[in-house]
Amino acid sequence: MTAFADVLQNIIFHNRQGAELYNRIFVVSAYANVTNWLLENKKTGAPGVYHHITQYREFRQALQDVATKLKALNKTYEPLGLDLAVADAAIQQRINQAQTYLESLTNVLASGYVNSANILQAAREILASIGEAHSAFNSVNILQNRGVNATLVDLSGFDDAEALTIDERIKQAFAGIDFTRTICIATGYTKGTEGIMREFDRGYSEVTFSKIAVAVRPQEAVIHKEYHLCSADPQLVGLDQCRPVGFTNYDVADQLADVGMEAIHPKASKPLEINAIDLRIKNTFEPEHPGTLITRDYVSTKKHVEVITGTDRVVLIDVYDPLMVGTVGFDLHLMQAFYDLDISYIFKATSANSITLLIWEKDLKAELVAALEARYEKVTVENAAMVCLIGSNIDEPGLLARAAGALADEGINILSAGFTLRKVNIQLIVSREQYEDSIIALNKALG
């Protein structure tokens, strides 16, 4: 969204004019960093306005500082046709309205009579909605000033007190719109009784996108990103050493999301998959390229690895106990410790006396290690990395041997490995220091 000039040229107006412009719905996210300013930085954790509220600190100035930043952003889009006075007034009104709501919430919070978690969640919802409302309003204003009939579909529900679910709000908002005569610009945030942030946190824009697709049943759903879905990370292996993935399926998309390489948020992909709605991932800056088509039933006719990816932001936890062997349900208590602390694992391997799990480094808690050490003979925790060979048809004899050989040739030891019967993802655990070398070696041998 920040590169909106490219969005106009490469997406909205690309090879279209007149009536061809219409019959499309665009679901927009906030401009870059806006949600970070409002909530917290997604990558670094640096606090935003929300932090002031959680710490019972004065938040009004921080919120108005965001308003100033949003108006500065508005000025950068004036050359594209944005009516600066109108846009500035609109975002200031939204910020002031949000401030009124937040003042009421903080007053209730300070009373101590209610559950603070629910109040803070409501504050988080209010703040999150501002970014998408801002970018959606600007997009419509720019299009209208260019002579395009554009309709703002504001799903944030700021001006109503209707107790609607997310699905109900979306259905109501789009009822009666003649799509053949307008471009709809919808906010990525949707207000609902279940709380979209509570359910999906920062992945909510894609969830809104998915739910709108299910409601209107398009010919195809398209996500525009700043890069292709590639066979490997071009920043690691080199742009000339990887290729865009032409076709794949939703199972593969889930495998990618599980290691943080999201083609689409997994909770957003499920409705599309269940309703057999095809999804295309396109590079905004290469409009002629068809991108990657994700369907429910695609299986490559050729046995090959489609994507080599992984993460170096994980921690390996190995639990050893000689009483494990032959004990029915031994890992039940182990899993209970993870469940009690709301920690999910992304890899698991077992032997007679040990269970090895991999979790995200950010999820590691001292309480988990203490709980495990209190119950089992030996618990080992170490930084690690996971590299994955993913594809819709990788059930090829010798693939695992070739992968192990490619790593061995580079002096890389495999700490653990695993795959399920479906064979869509072969997971190899290596030392964190050898992560990048592992991706490069595997891509060279198998890419």
Separation CA 180–CA 187 (nearest Å): 20
Q: How confident is the model at residue 114 (pLDDT cuts 50, 70, 90)?
A: confident
Give yes or no: residues 199 and 327 share one domain.
Answer: no
Residue 428's CB: how many other CB atoms inside 10 A?
A: 24
Report if residue 261 sits inside a domain: no
CA angle 332, 338, 344 (to 5 degrees): 115
Residue type, 397: P
Report if residue 252 sits inside a domain: no
* Residue 33, both tokens: 């960093």
Which residues constitute the domain of residue 154?
A: 4-218
Q: What is the CATH number of the domain that holds 20?
A: 3.40.1160.10
Residue 42's pLDDT is 84
On whether the CB atoms of residues 224 and 282 are closer than 8 A, the answer is: yes
Count of domains for the chain: 2
pLDDT in tens, 201-211: 888 999 999 99
- pLDDT at position 182 over 80: yes
Report if residue 14 sits inside a domain: yes
pLDDT in tens, 125-150: 999 999 999 999 999 999 999 999 99
Average pLDDT score over residue span 91-117: 91
Residues 69-90, buried b or exposed e (16+ Cβ, 10 A)? ebbebbeebeebbbbeeebbeb
Q: How confident is the model at residue 277 (pLDDT cuts 50, 70, 90)?
A: very high
Q: What is the DSSP letter of 184?
A: E
Domain termination residue (choose one: 187, 203, 218): 218
* Residue 397, both tokens: 């004899």
CA angle 80, 83, 88 (to 5 degrees): 115
Domain termination residue (choose one: 168, 185, 218): 218
Report if residue 290 sits inside a domain: no
Burial bucket for residue 427 (CB in 10 Å: 0-12, 13-18, 19+): buried
Residue 130's pLDDT is 97
Domain termination residue (choose one: 189, 218, 247): 218
- pLDDT at position 44 over 80: yes
Report if residue 67 sits inside a domain: yes
On whether the CB atoms of residues 141 and 86 are closer than 8 A, the answer is: yes
Please state which of the ranges 14-18, 57-61, 111-115, 280-284 shows the lowest mean pLDDT.
Answer: 111-115
Give yes or no: residues 172 and 59 share one domain.
Answer: yes
Give yes or no: residues 200 and 315 share one domain.
Answer: no
Give yes or no: residues 160 and 38 share one domain.
Answer: yes
pLDDT in tens, 397-443: 999 999 999 999 999 999 999 999 989 999 999 999 999 999 999 99
- pLDDT at position 262 over 80: no
Q: What is the CATH number of the domain that holds 330?
A: 3.30.2130.10
Give yes or no: residues 324 and 198 share one domain.
Answer: no
* Whole-number Cα distances in Å, 62 to 59, 95, 224, 410: 5, 11, 32, 51
pLDDT in tens, 292-308: 999 999 999 999 999 99
On whether the CB atoms of residues 269 and 281 are closer than 8 A, the answer is: no
Give yes or no: residues 80 and 214 share one domain.
Answer: yes
Give yes or no: residues 316 and 189 share one domain.
Answer: no
Torsion sign over Cα 139, 144, 146, 149: positive
Report if residue 289 sits inside a domain: no
For 349, list phi and psi in degrees, rounded to 5: -140, 145
Taking the CA of residue 213 as centre, how many other CA atoms within 13 Å lie in the half-sphere pointing to its CB? 27
Report if residue 267 sits inside a domain: no
Distance of alpha carbon 116 from the chain centroid: 27
pLDDT in tens, 308-336: 999 999 999 999 999 999 889 888 989 99
Give yes or no: residues 326 and 178 share one domain.
Answer: no
